[in-house]
Structure 1
Amino acid sequence: MLPPRAIAEVRSPLSDGEWHRLHPLTPVLRGGLFLIVVTGFVVANLRDRIIALIFPGFDDWESYEQDPVDYVLTNNLVLVAGLVVLGVLLLLFAIFWLSWRFHTFRITGDDVEVRSGVFFRTHRRAPLDRVQGVNLTRPMVARLLGTAKLEVVGAGLDANVKLEYLSTANAEAVRADILRLASGRRLAEAQEARAGASGDAPGRTRAAAGIVSAGISGLIDGVDDADDLEPASVVHIPSGRLIASHLLSGSSLWLLALIGGVITGAVFATPWILFTLVPMVIAFGAYWFRKITRALRYSIAPTRSGVRITFGLFTTITETLPPGRVHAVEVYQPVLWRRFGWWAIRVNRLSGRSASDSQALQQAEVLPVGTAADAEQVLRLLLPALDDDAIAALFADGLLGSARQPGDPFATTPRRARWLRPLSWRRNGALLAPPVLLLRHGVLRRTLVILPLARLQSARISQGPVDRALRLANLTGHTVLGPVSGSLGVIDRDDALDVWERTAAAVVSASAADRSHRWDASSEAVEKEETA
């Protein structure tokens, strides 16, 4: 059971600390692939008879010599076949029912727990203070049936806890409850209650101030119930821009290069090689279609529980990224986007999945394509510690700047090593600008990597034999695994050493002052809990 104070926080009857079962249609939705395979097998065996029923003029009866239906009818086995089919259906129903019956979950004040399995039991637990995010996934079939899949993202590989499936209303309410319980609000209230009960005047003063502050915040940010509604997106991506951005991506250049190679081979070798163009175009078309449909209906908006990102046309995924869960941010611009002023943003954060997982890569793209204004809006959501002047400096110096500009603050590649970076040596640079470390590189593909110091795992400086001869060094900021790389090479040794030493000191200070893991608790409450 949840304590009375925690029960007051939750809004769904499924979050009361007791064991509950999932939606009754869960076995059907989870076993949908198996049913599709079985249906495909039956249709493949009866396709000729189905064609005959649809087209009565069809009279190619030779194909029915091995038809199972003809065999059953000819040998008068209709009753036996009916009993077999009924037995198979009953067996499937029993398996699905047992799977649903023994699959339960509960949400306590400390964990989200799931128990499953009939013969081989599994018990999984996700501590609320380690929750990295909560994803709400609605596949097409599940949307038609009014259900959704909830995934609590843990802090390790394969650490996610899935609740599949719940009704859409219950899934949204449970998601809000999990984020509310993980926010640290109970910790702050408990500290205030203890201070008030002990007769501590300063404690009562802080409690009263907290109530007044909460009321003012409610007027500004909206009441808690506002989180249950779909927030308005701060960025709108037109479908035309999204389609054009994929057609102007690096994969398009690869396709053009392959087509040119095939045509050259057909001219100078054998013309049969032209037949490879058809499957090649089909493969690239399927790839673009999948990428575009996954990015359609994109929205990103702030909530009290973090940044809420929604995307997907057929399968809709809504993920809530709590504050302090962003470990690295990369803003980049491919060369073909430069004329239109488009940018994209992706992040590193713990997703509970392999770094090469397609869904993890998809969820890393927090802005598929947008204007400079769109990118600034998203950066403000992801990096709330940066003010407007710092965001503007990111674009002026980090994304568009280079050593050619007077007063460039970045430590860049020296002229003696420009042959190692013939195109990008003026842009290749690092800058410590607390609370972040900035790494800038690329000319054809402009890139700026932003590493929040509070999330940085370690910083490394290294040299190879060529680096030592030219007094150069490589700087690396280590974060959780993801598509964003924190490596920067070929910068002056003394500059790299200076940035590395100052970064090491700044990381300690930023980590000590960081309270984003309990984003709805006061800093005093968190400090008391950590001291205890």
Structure 2
Amino acid sequence: MTRQPVPHTPLSDGEWHRMHPLTPLFRGGLVLVVVAGLVISNLRDRLIALFLPVVAPDVPTEEAPGDPVDFVLRHNLVLLALTAVLVVVMVLIGLFYVSWRFHTFRITGDHVEERHGVLFRSHRRAPLDRVQGVNLTRPMFARLCGMAKLEVVGAGSDANVKLEYLSTANAEAVRADILRLASGLRLAKSEAKAAAAGEPAHTLASTAAATVSAALDGLVWGPEAAVAEPASVVSIPVGRLVASHLLSRSTLILLVLLGFIVWGASVGTPWLLVSFIPALIGFGTYWVRRITRALRYSIAPTPDGVRITFGLFTTITEILPPGRVHAVQITQPLLWRPAGWWRITINRLSGHRAGSDSRAEEEATRVLPVGTRADVERVLRLLLPGLPEDEWPLVFAHGILGADDDAYTTTPRRARLLHLLSWRRNGFLLTPDALFLRRGLLHRRLAIFPLARTQSIGVAQGPIARAFRVASLHVHTVAGRVSGHLTGIDRDAALAAFADVEAAAVAAASTDRSHRWAGTTGDVAGAAV
């Protein structure tokens, strides 16, 4: 039988609740706006002549053959046409209402459930002990109405449960409840205590004036004032963010393309310069989208995990609970090296649909778009809180920069032809808590795999590697952008690592309790998101 939680908010009492009343409009009703735009576009000449004759006096007003408006006016069918439009609007409003009535969710002691649909019913359920994170997304127009979308990230392909839409205050409260329940913490506040304290009941919507005012403030200044936003440990200047995108592989491709076009125009085909304009517009749109999505970035610790916020127009706030990071990678492209900038990506169970666009995957894995060494160290301490203090020099001093007394096991000299430039940097290091994989000379990369969440490890050897007596290590974890593949390792060292990693991973997993970060009992009065 499903356990019923002690409710912390009225929306997490184990009963079915409905979404925000404007949910059907934002989920499918915006199609009406597109249809209205098409109608207005087709009737623009008539509308200009009717309402703005001074601005465009030369707009023709005579009847056009087949014009439906002229047909209605000519046959005196205005009343019938308005009645038909009214009927269509009322039918749509009725469909929206029925859709809203059948779109419900509930939070129990074991699951988060969502069901919708009238003719074709859909019922999704996410076990709380498999929750990988809870994301809160506020698109610009929904934010103006004081609404947000809550997405419970599950452990599996297309396993996410989306609650769209809730009021922003309710979304924050529901997210806090889900995270507390997922951590194993039973909510200790009762309804009687809340009533005795005189706390006001939660509602689905406040007054229109207050909602619009708070939404406008949030659009300009960030999350609503009512939401407790922890201080970010990293601040990314806008100039650094813009420069990091300009100093990228995409810019090099654009410059090479421009060079070929200029060369082709100079030898007798000037029309090639015109063909460069669409490419320039496309790259410009790509840069602007990437930059705006990374603006207002913040990352901070909370009792329920690492809180990451980003986005200028559409704001996304996600909570990454402890124990959900399966791999961490620090990278430094060659063009970033003079500035000393770095990037951090992770492997996590994102729950996105198989074959979904790479942009959603990138947003779920990139936790630091660009930062200095100090920024990287602060973020790593949030993502890897269990890493002992004496192992931190293995990250930068040995892992990234490469100290003289290198502690990593690297490619042997006999196999340097397989890694002609990077054989000294190509290596691994095993500690009781993590496995470090270091690769790349021009494009530096250091991958860290917590042993408690390592699935398995493999050793492979092809004919060429066999001739050089080297082998490849394969660290198996959840799929993501962090690769666990390392080639060119001494065969004996790889076989020893195979056995050592297996034993260390079993020992680390047996003592790991990070997925139950809040315990199983106690009062939550002191826990705040």
Alignment of 1:179-258 (within 5 A): 179-186=179-186, 229-258=228-257
**Does 2:307 correspond to 1:308?**
yes
**Does 2:98 correspond to 1:102?**
no
Equivalent in the alignment of 2:333: 334
Question: Residue 361 of structure 1 aligns to which amino acid in structure 2?
Answer: E
1:356/1:435 CA distance change after superposition, 3 Å = farther
**Does 2:24 correspond to 1:27?**
yes
> Whole-Å Cα distance in 2 between the matches of residues 361 and 344 of structure 1?
12
**Contact residue 22 and residue 100 of structure 1 kept, 8 A:** yes
SS at match of 1:443: coil
Q: Normalised by the size of structure 2, how large is the TM-score?
A: 0.87
Deviates more, 1:107-116 or 1:29-38: 29-38
Alignment of 1:262-277 (within 5 A): 262-268=261-267, 270-277=269-276
Deviation string 1:373-413 (CA, Å, 9 cap, x unpaired) is 00000000000011343223301101111xxx532111111
> Whole-Å Cα distance in 2 between the matches of residues 454 and 407 of structure 1?
28
Equivalent in the alignment of 1:518: 516
**Contact residue 379 and residue 391 of structure 1 kept, 8 A:** no
> Whole-Å Cα distance in 2 between the matches of residues 63 and 245 of structure 1?
57
Deviates more, 1:29-38 or 1:337-346: 29-38
Question: Residue 395 of structure 2 aligns to which amino acid in structure 1?
Answer: L
Deviates more, 1:170-179 or 1:71-80: 71-80
Equivalent in the alignment of 1:83: 83
> Whole-Å Cα distance in 2 between the matches of residues 318 and 295 of structure 1?
12
Equivalent in the alignment of 2:363: 362
Question: Residue 245 of structure 1 aligns to which amino acid in structure 2?
Answer: S
> Whole-Å Cα distance in 1 between the matches of residues 289 and 124 of structure 2?
32
**Contact residue 343 and residue 372 of structure 1 kept, 8 A:** yes
* Pairwise CA distance, 1:479: 1.1
* Pairwise CA distance, 1:44: 2.1
**Contact residue 8 and residue 188 of structure 2 kept, 8 A:** no
**Contact residue 188 and residue 522 of structure 1 kept, 8 A:** no
Question: Residue 256 of structure 2 aligns to which amino acid in structure 1?
Answer: A
Question: Residue 119 of structure 1 aligns to which amino acid in structure 2?
Answer: L
**Does 2:446 correspond to 1:448?**
yes
**Contact residue 15 and residue 108 of structure 1 kept, 8 A:** yes
**Contact residue 18 and residue 104 of structure 2 kept, 8 A:** yes
> Whole-Å Cα distance in 1 between the matches of residues 101 and 141 of structure 2?
22
SS at match of 2:387: coil
- Segments of 5+ residues of structure 2 without an aligned counterpart are 190-225, 522-529
> Whole-Å Cα distance in 2 between the matches of residues 134 and 143 of structure 1?
18
> Whole-Å Cα distance in 1 between the matches of residues 172 and 62 of structure 2?
53
Q: Normalised by the size of structure 1, how large is the TM-score?
A: 0.86
**Contact residue 2 and residue 17 of structure 1 kept, 8 A:** no
Equivalent in the alignment of 2:387: 386
Question: Residue 339 of structure 1 aligns to which amino acid in structure 2?
Answer: P
**Does 2:345 correspond to 1:346?**
yes
1:506/1:232 CA distance change after superposition, 3 Å = same
**Does 2:71 correspond to 1:74?**
no
1:3/1:439 CA distance change after superposition, 3 Å = closer
Deviates more, 1:346-355 or 1:456-465: 346-355
Displacement over 4 Å in runs of 4+: 1-4
**Contact residue 2 and residue 110 of structure 2 kept, 8 A:** no
SS at match of 1:49: helix
**Does 2:424 correspond to 1:426?**
yes
Aligned partner (choices 472, 483, 486) of residue 485 of structure 1: 483
Equivalent in the alignment of 1:142: 142
**Does 2:164 correspond to 1:164?**
yes
Equivalent in the alignment of 1:177: 177
> Whole-Å Cα distance in 2 between the matches of residues 99 and 343 of structure 1?
47
SS at match of 2:419: coil
Equivalent in the alignment of 1:219: none
Equivalent in the alignment of 1:278: 277
> Whole-Å Cα distance in 2 between the matches of residues 355 and 327 of structure 1?
21
1:311/1:76 CA distance change after superposition, 3 Å = same
May I ask how many residue pairs the two structures share in their alignment? 481
**Does 2:373 correspond to 1:372?**
yes
Q: Give 1 or 2: higher helix fraction.
A: 1
Equivalent in the alignment of 2:503: 505
* Pairwise CA distance, 1:470: 0.9
Aligned partner (choices 435, 438, 456) of residue 436 of structure 2: 438
* Pairwise CA distance, 1:522: 6.6
**Contact residue 2 and residue 16 of structure 1 kept, 8 A:** no
Deviation string 1:263-284 (CA, Å, 9 cap, x unpaired) is 2333346332222210001000
Identity of aligned residues (%): 63
Equivalent in the alignment of 1:528: none
* Pairwise CA distance, 1:12: 1.7
> Whole-Å Cα distance in 1 between the matches of residues 509 and 187 of structure 2?
20
**Contact residue 474 and residue 485 of structure 2 kept, 8 A:** yes
SS at match of 1:152: strand
**Does 2:92 correspond to 1:92?**
yes
* Pairwise CA distance, 1:259: 1.2
**Contact residue 151 and residue 161 of structure 2 kept, 8 A:** yes
* Pairwise CA distance, 1:120: 1.2
* Pairwise CA distance, 1:95: 1.3
**Contact residue 247 and residue 335 of structure 2 kept, 8 A:** yes
* Pairwise CA distance, 1:3: 6.5
* Pairwise CA distance, 1:50: 3.2
> Whole-Å Cα distance in 2 between the matches of residues 293 and 50 of structure 1?
36
* Pairwise CA distance, 1:46: 1.2
> Whole-Å Cα distance in 2 between the matches of residues 499 and 269 of structure 1?
61
Question: Residue 390 of structure 2 aligns to which amino acid in structure 1?
Answer: D
SS at match of 1:95: helix
> Whole-Å Cα distance in 1 between the matches of residues 496 and 52 of structure 2?
78
> Whole-Å Cα distance in 2 between the matches of residues 394 and 487 of structure 1?
18
Deviates more, 1:350-359 or 1:10-19: 350-359
Equivalent in the alignment of 2:208: none
**Contact residue 180 and residue 187 of structure 2 kept, 8 A:** no
